[in-house]
């Protein structure tokens, strides 16, 4: 008679990295019903249906990439497949995507009551990793829909793009109503941001049990400063490429927007604020000053892998155009100091797959002001942070906090972010000693190029498990897309 096995999967002989700890522990990891069942030493192989030899690799919690833009430049139906494959390749098991109405994305406006079910219908069955969405209230009607989105769809995080009203996505657009697809009597401005915050504050009161999970993310740049400095930089014509773009959207444009956002958050008592992709010394210093000025506001500070790995002398040039811009080496090193100091809460990719034909101007491919903003990078998130972070003394436990636990906590993924009994068995087996050179040709993303091309990184994902299922192994995606929608709190 066959004896029922206790575990579905046993990964033996790994070095287990957990957030909130101060060391890495050798041991085994047992999985049952898609969840971690036991973590410890010498778990008997006879207790499991399938046994994997972890060969002394590091075992990290599946990466939570809390800032992606699946479906921004290509149809969501295509992007969901290819870009979630890129995520799995990078050890990501939870992908949280910023989404909105207006141009790009589904290229339509309207109420989220109609729009969001379409997003979910397109997403279903296409993601290789678990996924969720943050949504941006673009008009007054969307603010009224916040309780519905929380209650019905488990969307608990929202976004403001501070510079969109006055500047558009790429700078060329001054027609905000066309770009944002909102009515003529709507304005996407500071007053609208205040009313979003008031709407969220009401939601925090209404859903008291979910209060800690309801938060607002802000892209902090100031339209007027960017518009004026872009003109200056173009008129002077002394700078080109990424240096010109950084000068055209200067760091104090970030700092000012951070101050405005923080003041409003305090004024409206909208207490959970995420300051997205800080790129510069000025941005980080402004964010820290605001945290001291308004201790009642629970700030989180985010940095992207792009801003931690690339500077404005990167050889890939215009391909690294992104908002806010890639900065100087001095800013990059300041960001790293902030990470090492515990001043940054999580790292993300800001993955926005933008294929070459869309990315650069056909006639003037080197002209940074004509190119589009954003690029993919989720596949290099863990390797990038590990490679550059380890050089600077970042511990593996901190890496697990920055790439998984902290964002999971903030965004209500209560069953993600750690290797502990009862949590989803999302796991990355990682070879910390394997050095590789980034080649876009090796990536699952459909982007076709990468601004990280030629970077030598140390530390590579070997296998990725999603809820105990192997989804990526030694260079190839395994199985069909089994990612599930994460209704939050999850």
Query: Rounded to the nearest whole angstrom, what is the least distance from the CB of residue 14 to Zn ion in the complex?
Result: 33
Task: Give the CB-nearest residue to Zn ion.
Answer: 350
Sign of torsion over alpha carbons 287, 289, 292, 293 = negative
Query: Measured from the CB atom, is 301 or 460 closer to Zn ion?
Result: 301
Query: Measured from the CB atom, is 94 or 268 closer to Zn ion?
Result: 94
- Exposure letters 45-67 (e unless 16+ CB within 10 A, then b): eebbeebbebeebbbbbbbbbbb
Query: Measured from the CB atom, is 59 or 354 closer to Zn ion?
Result: 354
**Count of residues near Zn ion by CB under 5 A:** 1
Record the tokens describing residue 233, joined without a space.
């930089």
For residues 326-365, which are near Zn ion according to CB under 5 A? 350
Q: Is 254 in the site for Zn ion (CB under 5 A)?
A: no
Query: Rounded to the nearest whole angstrom, what is the least distance from the CB of residue 104 to Zn ion in the complex?
Result: 12
Query: Measured from the CB atom, is 100 or 415 closer to Zn ion?
Result: 100
Query: Measured from the CB atom, is 100 or 192 closer to Zn ion?
Result: 100
Q: DSSP states of 220-270 as a string?
A: ---HHHHHHHHHHHHHH----HHHHHHHHS-HHHHHHHHHHHHHHHHHHT-
Query: Rounded to the nearest whole angstrom, what is the least distance from the CB of residue 100 to Zn ion in the complex?
Result: 11
Question: How far is the C-alpha of 312 from the C-alpha of 315, rounded, in Å?
Answer: 9
Query: Rounded to the nearest whole angstrom, what is the least distance from the CB of residue 72 to Zn ion in the complex?
Result: 9
Record the tokens describing residue 385, joined without a space.
């942070």
- Using alpha carbons, select from 256, 44, 253, 69 the residue that is nearest to residue 159: 69
Query: Measured from the CB atom, is 350 or 401 closer to Zn ion?
Result: 350
Query: Rounded to the nearest whole angstrom, what is the least distance from the CB of residue 112 to Zn ion in the complex?
Result: 19
| Residue where the block lists tokens 């002077």 | 236
Confirm if 136 and 98 have CB atoms less than 8 A apart.
yes
- Exposure letters 216-237 (e unless 16+ CB within 10 A, then b): bbbbbbbbebbbebbeebeeee
Query: Measured from the CB atom, is 160 or 428 closer to Zn ion?
Result: 160
Query: Rounded to the nearest whole angstrom, what is the least distance from the CB of residue 350 to Zn ion in the complex?
Result: 4
For residues 182-241, which are near Zn ion according to CB under 5 A? none
CA 74 to chain centre: 18
Query: Rounded to the nearest whole angstrom, what is the least distance from the CB of residue 62 to Zn ion in the complex?
Result: 21
Kindly list the residues in this chain that would bind Zn ion in the complex (CB under 5 A): 350
């Amino acid at each position: 008679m066959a004896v029922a096995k206790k575990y579905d999967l046993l990964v033996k002989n790994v070095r287990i990295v957990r957030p909130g700890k101060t060391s890495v522990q050798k041991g085994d990891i047992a999985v049952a019903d898609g969840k971690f069942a036991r973590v410890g030493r010498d778990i008997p192989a006879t207790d499991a249906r399938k046994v994997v030899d972890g060969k002394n690799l590091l075992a990290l919690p599946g990466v939570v990439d809390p800032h992606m833009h699946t479906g921004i430049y290509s149809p969501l139906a295509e992007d969901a497949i290819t870009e979630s494959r890129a995520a799995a390749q990078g050890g990501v098991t939870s992908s949280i995507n910023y989404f909105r109405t207006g141009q790009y994305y589904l290229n339509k406006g309207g109420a989220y009551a109609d729009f969001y079910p379409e997003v979910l219908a397109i997403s279903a069955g296409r993601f290789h990793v678990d996924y969720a969405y943050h949504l941006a209230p673009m008009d007054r009607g969307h603010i009224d829909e916040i309780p519905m989105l929380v209650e019905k769809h488990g969307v608990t995080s929202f976004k403001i793009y501070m510079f969109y009203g006055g500047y558009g996505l790429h700078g060329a657009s001054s027609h905000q109503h066309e770009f944002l697809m909102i009515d003529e009597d709507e304005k996407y401005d500071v007053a609208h941001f205040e009313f979003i915050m008031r709407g969220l504050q009401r939601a925090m009161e209404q859903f008291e049990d979910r209060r800690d999970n309801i938060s607002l993310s802000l892209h902090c740049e100031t339209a007027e400063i960017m518009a004026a400095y872009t003109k200056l930089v173009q008129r002077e014509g002394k700078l080109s490429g990424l240096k010109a773009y950084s000068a055209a959207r200067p760091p104090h444009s970030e700092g000012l927007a951070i101050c405005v956002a923080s003041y409003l958050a305090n004024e409206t008592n909208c207490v959970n604020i995420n300051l997205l992709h800080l790129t510069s010394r000025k941005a980080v210093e402004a964010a820290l000053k605001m945290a001291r000025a308004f201790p009642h506001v629970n700030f989180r500070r985010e940095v992207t892998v792009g801003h931690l790995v690339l500077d404005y002398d990167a050889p890939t040039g215009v391909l690294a155009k992104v908002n806010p811009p890639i900065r100087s080496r001095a800013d990059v090193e300041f960001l790293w100091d902030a990470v090492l100091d515990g001043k940054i809460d999580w790292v993300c990719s800001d993955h926005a797959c933008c294929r070459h034909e869309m990315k650069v101007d056909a006639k003037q491919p080197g002209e940074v002001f004509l190119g589009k903003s954003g690029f993919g990078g989720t596949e290099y998130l863990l390797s990038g942070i590990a490679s550059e972070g380890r050089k600077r003394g970042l511990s593996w436990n901190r890496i697990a906090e920055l790439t998984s636990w902290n964002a999971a906590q903030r965004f209500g993924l209560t069953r993600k972010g750690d290797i502990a009994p009862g949590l989803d068995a999302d796991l990355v087996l990682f070879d910390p000693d394997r050095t590789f050179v980034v080649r876009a040709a090796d990536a699952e993303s459909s982007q076709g190029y990468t601004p990280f091309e030629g970077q030598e990184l140390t530390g590579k994902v070997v296998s990725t498990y999603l809820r105990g299922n192997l989804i990526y192994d030694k260079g190839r995606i395994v199985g069909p897309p089994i990612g599930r929608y994460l209704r939050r709190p999850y």
